[in-house]
A and B are shown apart, each in its own frame.
Chain A
Amino acid sequence: AQTVTQSQPEMSVQEAETVTLSCTYDTSESNYYLFWYKQPPSRQMILVIRQEAYKQQNATENRFSVNFQKAAKSFSLKISDSQLGDTAMYFCAFMKLLTGGSEKLVFGKGTKLTVNP
């Protein structure tokens, strides 16, 4: 079974600064995806960024980038130029990749990020 660990229950950052959220995972699978999802207060879960395990290049999406270390089973999220709207719970998630399509997501417990003005 896969497990996802987020060791930082809460973090805070000043507006315009950079913050890094940590995630480690455990799996014996070789083909999988990793995700970061954002859940603002009382709002729906939104995909932030996705990383395919077979790709060595780290994924980036505008101000969001990841540091994917496959051997170490580490998948951290860096948010640059933090904005007030980035305040949310951030969940790291693992998905086994099968030929039929997407599978269930296995989530970490989340990191509550607060961006301060």
Chain B
Amino acid sequence: DTGVSQDPRHKITKRGQNVTFRCDPISEHNRLYWYRQTLGQGPEFLTYFQNEAQLEKSRLLSDRFSAERPKGSFSTLEIQRTEQGDSAMYLCASSLGAQPQHFGDGTRLSIL
């Protein structure tokens, strides 16, 4: 069990640029979740997958956000035309069945 891995750990970009984050879940976990956490707040749900199927998307996820999980393994979260308000920690978690979710270290996005 190598844990949930996220890459990069920190991304700094200029407003208007596109960014992509990657999450590698624990290998046998079939569910994968993305959350966003701003300073001083609890994580907020963005979207989740069961295998390769995206089962739910939050209303927080604007059209500029897209997530994929090809082949039900790793997942990517892309943000197009980044805005100042996108600055946050993006957390990935994975789980198997009804077991608790395991979180990665997160990717911190800073928009200049």
In this complex, the interface size class of chain B, counting residues with CB under 8 Å from chain A, is 20 to 34
Q: Is the CB of A102 within 8 A of B43?
A: no
Chain B: residues with CB nearer than 8 A to chain A?
30-31, 33, 35, 40-45, 48, 50, 56, 91, 93, 95-106
A4 surroundings in chain B (CB, below 8 A): 42
Count chain A residues whose beta carbon lies closer than 8 angstroms to a beta carbon of B. Answer: 24
A44 interface residue (CB < 8 Å to B): yes
Which one of A47, A91, A97, A103 has the greatest number of beta carbons of chain B within 10 Å? A103
Q: Is the CB of B97 within 8 A of A102?
A: yes
A50, A97, A100, A107: the one contacting B43 at CB < 8 Å is A107
Q: Given A101-B95, A105-B45, answer yes or no on A35-B50 (Cβ-Cβ < 8 Å).
A: no
**Docked complex Cα distance between A102 and B100 (Å):** 7
A93, A106, A110: the one contacting B41 at CB < 8 Å is A110
Q: Is the CB of A104 within 8 A of B103?
A: no
